[in-house]
Amino acid sequence: MIRTAWLVAKKDLLIERRSRVLLWQVLPFGAMALLLSGLALGPAHAGTSSAGPGLFYLVMLFVALLMINRSYVIESTPGTRASVQTLGLDPAGVFLGKSLALCVELWLSGLVLLAGTVLVLHTGLHGALVALPSVLVTLAAMSAAGTLYGALTAGAQGAATLLPVLTLPAFAPLLVAGERSFSAALTHSGLWEWWLIVAVALVAYVGVGILLYGVLEES
């Protein structure tokens, strides 16, 4: 399982490095969305608004949806799916590999957009740094959940539009917990209860993915 996971993650990240979709398309989109959020808040509220963490996660949601969709588009070249199926890869390993690659991509995006949040929305740098570990765990949980739902919608008619509809209910608790955790870091209040929710969700999604990914692939 671990060998397959490493193989799949390495392949997905290599494809991303080659295609540069994250670098030249998704990250600029995220940066623009963050900038527009700052403009929507207006200069009077910059630095004083508590909306920074929420806007950060809203933009991360858009970025995550694009990257989940991308993760399955690379498998959907005509013929590729059938050929890879005949390699007989361990589905749990495939799930872990795709989740890991997506997680690395979301972490890179998260770091850039977190810096953007500090610059554009004037969120406190110290608070952002304190919130960083919780952001990374939240994005890891989103990767695991997103990989599951990506497999569910891959190959379906209108997969790109079906994915957000199905994923949002799963992401909602993660986004709320992530936002609360980020806000708590900014106000130096209780951080751990929100951390715990995200960590439990991460473990749950990884467990469900390992158990059910093969079934989703076959269906």
Q: What is the dihedral of CA 79, 82, 88, 94, to 10 degrees?
A: 70
Q: Does 48 bind other proteins (CB under 8 A)?
A: no
Min CB(162)–other proteins separation in Å: 18
Q: Does 1 bind other proteins (CB under 8 A)?
A: no
Is 18 a binder of other proteins (CB under 8 A)? Answer: yes
CB nearer other proteins, residue 32 or residue 211 = 211
- Quick one: which of 59, 89, 177, 197 contacts other proteins (CB under 8 A)? 89
Instruction: Give which of 151, 138, 131 is closest to 106, Cα–Cα.
Output: 138
CB-nearer residue toward other proteins: 11 or 122: 11
The encoded tokens of residue 190 equal 């209780």
What residues contact 12, with CB distance under 8 A and at least 6 apart?
A: 71, 74, 97, 98, 101, 102
Q: Choose the stretch contacting other proteins; rule: CB under 8 A; options: 46-54, 73-81, 122-130, 141-149.
A: 73-81
User: Of these, 25, 50, 76, 85, which contacts other proteins (CB under 8 A)?
Assistant: 85
Given the rule CB under 8 A, which of 48-56, 72-80, 111-119, 199-207 is the region that contacts other proteins? Answer: 72-80
When asked if residue 79 is in the footprint of other proteins (CB under 8 A), the reply is yes
A 10 A CB-CB count for 129 gives: 12
Contact with other proteins (CB under 8 A) among 74, 166, 176, 186: 74
80 is a site residue for other proteins (CB under 8 A):
yes
Q: Is 219 in the site for other proteins (CB under 8 A)?
A: no
Q: Which of 42, 43, 48, 77 binds other proteins (CB under 8 A)?
A: 77
| Site for other proteins, rule CB under 8 A | 4, 7, 11, 14-15, 18-19, 74, 77-80, 82-89
